[in-house]
Amino acid sequence: WFQQTLFASLQDLMVGDEASECRSMLEVSYPMEIGIVRCWEDMLHLWDHTFGPQRLNINPPDCKALLTEPPLNPLKNRQKIAEPFRFHQKYLNLYLATLSACCVRVAGLLTGVVVDSGDGVTLSASPHAPFRRLLAKIHLSSIIYSSVQLLLLRGYAFNHTADFETTVRMMKENLCFVGYNTEHEQKLANETSVLVESYTLPDGRTIMVGGERFGMPEALFQPHLINVEGVGVAELLFNTIQAADIDIRSDFYKHIVLSGGSTMYPGLPSRLEREIKQLYLERVLKGDTEKLSKCKICIEGPPRRKHMVFMGGAVLANIMKDKESFWLSRAEYEERGLKVLDKLGGAPR
């Protein structure tokens, strides 16, 4: 009966949770990769779904649209984003805002550095400095694959690829945490059952999950665990701040803002703060613990940070809704073409 219901509900195009529920019977596509659109045809379908009667049900020619983009988004990608909004969606006005600018604004700060970790990419950036750093393509899919391997070693079997991603995603959101001290957590996992939690799979089976609870997200701090080259999120953040002008580094250390679903792990803010302090002690203060006590390092992890970029974009769009000089207008676009994007600034040529 369940399978019959799924077959009956199948559509030619399905997006989001609807697609996840039927993913075993669908060819699934992810239009974006490491924060950049890779499949424009699928992205247009996604926008049509979002703005159409299924969701927002708005008339684009009567609206202004604010889109977010990664820091230092390549100019060619900006052009690709602007074109469909002019010729396909035909919005009245358009603006592209960086992820970091949205996050800092909704946090109520004038300056700061943002660690944004989502489904496809983890990056750190500041809206006031011309740089960003990327966390060596730590895709959620890589962490999921690694997690499934851990469970397979425990003797658990999954029926098909759809089980892999959907099930482990849910486990990640409901069971996982970041260990403050991985050696201590590993000892607890090996010698006790204090970390063990039960989890019921979609097919009704119950499995027991222990060390995997902190082992899955540990790849954010130690990418080599999933065979990815590069530094972890703590060193990524430290390098980003140290690359800034010396006059603003202290402000950045005081205002480190977390954003995105992959920062929602319990324990992540405290672990990140501990590692940042250790890196600062070793590389900046050269081991002087007395000076460290005088340094203020603050990690800000708002409860609703999973959707922080969206909330910041909504705040910015509302503040600027009547300021015509802020937006890229249709008239400007028709007069200057893609050169109108120069008005936004911030993109490399």
Local structure of residue 272 (DSSP, 8 states): H
Looking at the fold, whether 200 and 178 belong to one and the same domain comes out as yes
CATH of the domain at 171: 3.90.640.10
> What domain count does the chain have?
2
Q: Which of 12-16, 42-46, 163-167, 248-252 has the lowest mean pLDDT?
A: 163-167
In a domain? residue 21: no
Percentage of the chain surpassing pLDDT 90? 33
Say if CB 284 and CB 252 are below 8 A apart: no
- State pTM to two decimals: 0.85
In a domain? residue 51: no
Mean pLDDT of 148-163: 66
pLDDT at 101: 86
Task: Single out the residue in 223, 246, 265 at which a domain terminates.
Answer: 223
pLDDT at 144: 60
pLDDT at 238 > cutoff 70:
yes
Residue with the bigger pLDDT between 316 and 142: it is 316
Separation between Cα atoms, residue 188 and residue 202, nearest integer Å: 29
Cβ-Cβ contacts under 8 Å for 339 (sequence gap 6 or more) = none
Instruction: Tell me, letter by letter, the H, E, C secondary structure of 231-268.
Output: CCHHHHHHHHHHCCCHHHHHHHHHCEEEECHHHCCCCH
In a domain? residue 308: yes
Q: What are phi and psi of 6, to 5 degrees?
A: -65, -45
Looking at the fold, whether 175 and 309 belong to one and the same domain comes out as no
Looking at the fold, whether 236 and 316 belong to one and the same domain comes out as yes
Say if CB 217 and CB 172 are below 8 A apart: yes
pLDDT tens digits for 83-126? 777 666 677 788 999 888 899 888 888 888 999 887 667 777 77
In a domain? residue 49: no
Looking at the fold, whether 236 and 335 belong to one and the same domain comes out as yes
CA angle 34, 315, 61 (to 5 degrees): 80
pLDDT at 137 > cutoff 50:
no
pLDDT at 2 > cutoff 50:
no
**Lookup: tokens for 344:** 């936004």
In a domain? residue 213: yes
Counted residue by residue, the chain has a size of 349
Strand order in the sheet with 299-300: 132-134, 122-125, 113-117, 256-259, 299-300
Task: Single out the residue in 195, 223, 251 at which a domain terminates.
Answer: 223
Would you call 86 exposed, middle or buried from its count of C-beta atoms within 10 A (0-12, 13-18, 19+)? middle
Say if CB 139 and CB 120 are below 8 A apart: yes
Range of the domain at 320: 59-135+231-340
Q: Kind and range of the H or E element at 21?
A: helix 17-21
In a domain? residue 156: yes
Percentage of the chain surpassing pLDDT 70? 84
Separation between Cα atoms, residue 14 and residue 349, nearest integer Å: 36
Looking at the fold, whether 182 and 304 belong to one and the same domain comes out as no
